[in-house]
């Protein structure tokens, strides 16, 4: 088995975790002022507002671009109103 197949199997099995490479430049405007922040995320899904506490992401102060890693995207999606409603039905 080649090395890429081994890595893929380890990631799928949860034995290896990849973290996002720290950004040094904004992907939208090219500014080098991008910083890592932690704050409450406020979103709207199908007209329903929702909040997610303590979301960590990279943000550009010049253009407002926000870059989330995979874990934070999954966390944000799990707080969406529709997802929470479906989970409640499944749990019952």
Beta-strand (E) ranges in 1-91?
A: 35-45, 48-59, 66-67
Residue 16 lies in a domain: no
Look up the CATH number of the domain holding residue 73.
3.10.20.860
Encoded tokens for 30: 């090219």
Residue 3 lies in a domain: no
Question: What pTM, to 2 d.p., does this model score?
Answer: 0.64
For every residue of 55-80, which 3-state class applies, written as one string? Answer: EEEEECCCCCCEECCHHHHHHHHHCC
Residue-wise pLDDT for 65-86, tens only, equals 999 988 899 999 988 887 655 5
Task: Provide the residue range defining the domain that includes 51.
Answer: 22-91
Task: Give how many domains the chain has, as a whole number.
Answer: 1
Average pLDDT over residues 50-66: 94
Q: From CA 51, how far away is CA 76, in angstroms rounded?
A: 8
């Amino acid at each position: 088995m080649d090395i890429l197949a081994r890595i893929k199997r380890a990631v799928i099995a949860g034995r290896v975790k990849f973290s996002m490479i720290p950004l040094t430049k904004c992907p939208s405007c090219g500014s080098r002022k991008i910083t890592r922040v932690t704050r409450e995320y406020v979103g709207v899904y199908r007209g329903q507002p929702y909040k997610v506490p303590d979301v960590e992401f990279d943000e550009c102060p010049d253009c407002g671009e926000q870059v989330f890693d995979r874990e934070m995207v999954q966390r944000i999606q799990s707080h969406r109103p529709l997802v929470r409603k479906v989970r409640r039905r499944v749990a019952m």
